[in-house]
Every structure is written in C-alpha cells, then in structure tokens.
Amino acid sequence: GQQLNQSPQSMFIQEGEDVSMNCTSSSIFNTWLWYKQDPGEGPVLLIALYKAGELTSNGRLTAQFGITRKDSFLNISASIPSDVGIYFCAGYSGGSNYKLTFGKGTLLTVNP
C-alpha cells in the first residue's frame, strides 16, 4: 500500500528558531495535508494543498506541494512553546478510495 516517509521523527529546538519537516512518497498524491496533534487531543488540520507547486501559509506556518506530487514540506517560523506537538503529513490520492494516508509524525519539542 501507499506509504509516507516523514522526517525527522523528532526535533528539539529553542524558542524562536525556525523548523522544517518533510514528507515523501513513492506514489503520487492529489492532495497533501498537514495536521498537528496536541497531547491528549485529536489531529487538527493546519494546511491543505491541492495543486502541485502550491505554496500556502497559515500564520507562521508555510507548506508546499512538491512539483513531482510525491513530496511536501512544512516550515514553522519563529517557533513558540505552544508549537509543541506531533505534526503529521497526510496524502490523498483521489478516486473512489477516500482514505488518507498518514506519515508517522514529527514530534516537536520547543525549549523556552
């Protein structure tokens, strides 16, 4: 089945630093999404990307849909303590199978 390789698995950074994480796939996706999961909560959608090459921002977050449609990255600028959590990429390939394929997540720790 489809698999997403998300890296890094974890990051420890200082408050104020920028963060970058990415996701790659052996398959093409029509949609890339980035979710964040806070401890004890369900994942929450941060950014959705629907077109190859698309660059979308949501506050301090910026994500891009790779030109090959097989990768995406998420950048967080000027990190703050509340950015702590697990960030998941997810891909949707379209068609009649509506399931999302999730990466295994990047655990972000921000030291104040």
Partner 1 sequence: DSGVTQTPKHLITATGQRVTLRCSPRSGDLSVYWYQQSLDQGLQFLIQYYNGEERAKGNILERFSAQQFPDLHSELNLSSLELGDSALYFCASSVGLGATGELFFGEGSRLTVL
* Footprint on this chain of partner 1 (rule: CB under 8 A): 31, 33, 35, 40-45, 48, 50, 88, 90-92, 94, 96-105
Shortest CB 55 distance to partner 1, Å = 18
Shortest CB 17 distance to partner 1, Å = 26
Given the complex with partner 1, which of 79 and 106 has the nearer CB atom?
106
Pseudo-torsion of CA 59, 9, 2, 45, nearest 10°? Answer: -20
Shortest CB 5 distance to partner 1, Å = 11
Residues 6+ apart with CB under 8 A from 44: 35, 36, 37, 38
Given the complex with partner 1, which of 44 and 67 has the nearer CB atom?
44
Residues 6+ apart with CB under 8 A from 31: 48, 49, 50, 91, 92, 94
Shortest CB 64 distance to partner 1, Å = 16
Given the complex with partner 1, which of 79 and 103 has the nearer CB atom?
103
